[in-house]
Amino acid sequence: NAGVTQTPKFQVLKTGQSMTLQCAQDMNHEYMSWYRQDPGMGLRLIHYSVGAGITDQGEVPNGYNVSRSTTEDFPLRLLSAAPSQTSVYFCASSYVGIQSNYGYTFGSGTRLTVV
Amino acid sequence: RKEVEQDPGPFNVPEGATVAFNCTYSNSASQSFFWYRQDCRKEPKLLMSVYSSGNEDGRFTAQLNRASQYISLLIRDSKLSDSATYLCVVNRGEKLTFGTGTRLTIIP
């Protein structure tokens, strides 16, 4: 009964370093997405995927890469970390066809600080 | 103009009072509507979906006015445990767009 699992929970990076935020879900959801949340900005969509092998950009994709090789996993890669990427990152998943009103299930978040 | 706009608050309300939040959205093609709740330093969680006919879940009532592109949430008999940030969320296609949230604090 894990739901959406994100790792790590906290991370400090130096400017220019790269890293991967992990996201896994065990609900067989087709749709997975990454959001970042900043004070006063709300949640903003970075990238999303509607199934294995399919990804697309959201509102703020620059500086991030994703891939979806399996239904369960949707890692987010920071290519060269910048202080502007300091944020809380949430992974979310759902069934395709959000009109069914199931809503999204969110992971517990990764708090990233870039110094 | 933001796609989803909410009054950020904060709303400080005595326990037992009724409180209402409003939200407007700009894209008339939006298809589904939700209220999420987010506790401090936690992930958002679905509170309720919002239907055109209005819907109720215990002390919570949600309303949608498509003509005015307006969504509301009413909380009756507020409890201390209702203290949180309430996010208005709109769906168009496969993506959800979130408002910045309204912060509610229930005062004993």
Is A45 close to B43, i.e. CB distance below 8 A? no
Q: What is the pLDDT of residue A3?
A: 93
Task: Among A31, A101, A106, select the one facing B44 at the smallest CB separation.
Answer: A106
A1 pLDDT band, cuts 50/70/90, is low
Q: How many CB atoms lie within 10 A of CB B96?
A: 25
Cβ A30 vs Cβ A50: under 8 Å:
yes
What is the rounded CA–CA span in Å between residue A41 and residue A17? 25
Q: What is the pLDDT of residues B22-67, one digit of tens each?
A: 999 998 888 889 999 999 989 999 999 998 888 999 999 999 999 9
A3 touching chain B per CB within 8 A: no
Nearest CA of chain A to the CA of B29: how many Å?
13
The residue type found at B76 is: R
CB pairs under 8 A between A and B: 51
Nearest CA of chain B to the CA of A85: how many Å?
18
A110 touching chain B per CB within 8 A: no
Inform me whether the pLDDT recorded for A99 exceeds 50.
no
DSSP string, B19-71: EEEEEEES-TT--EEEEEEE-TTS--EEEEEE-TT-EEETTEEEEEETTTTEE
Q: Name which of A7-11, A101-105, B35-39 the model is least confident about.
A: A101-105
Measured CA angle at B43 (ends B39, B49), to 5 deg: 85
Q: Mean pLDDT across chain B, nearest whole number? A: 92
Residues of chain B contacting A, Cβ within 8 Å: 4, 8, 31-32, 34, 36, 42-46, 49, 87, 91, 94-101
Mean local confidence (pLDDT), B74-100: 91
With 0-12 / 13-18 / 19 or more C-beta atoms within 10 angstroms meaning exposed / middle / buried, residue A98 is buried
Q: Mean pLDDT across chain A, nearest whole number? A: 92
Q: What is the pLDDT of residue A98?
A: 52
Contacts of B32 (CB under 8 A, 6+ apart): A98, A99, A101, B49, B90, B91
Q: Which two tokens stand for residue B15?
A: 């326990």
- Residue to mutate among B94, B97, B103, with most A CBs inside 10 A, is B94
Q: What is the pLDDT of residues A50-61, one digit of tens each?
A: 999 999 999 999
Q: What is the pLDDT of residue A81?
A: 97
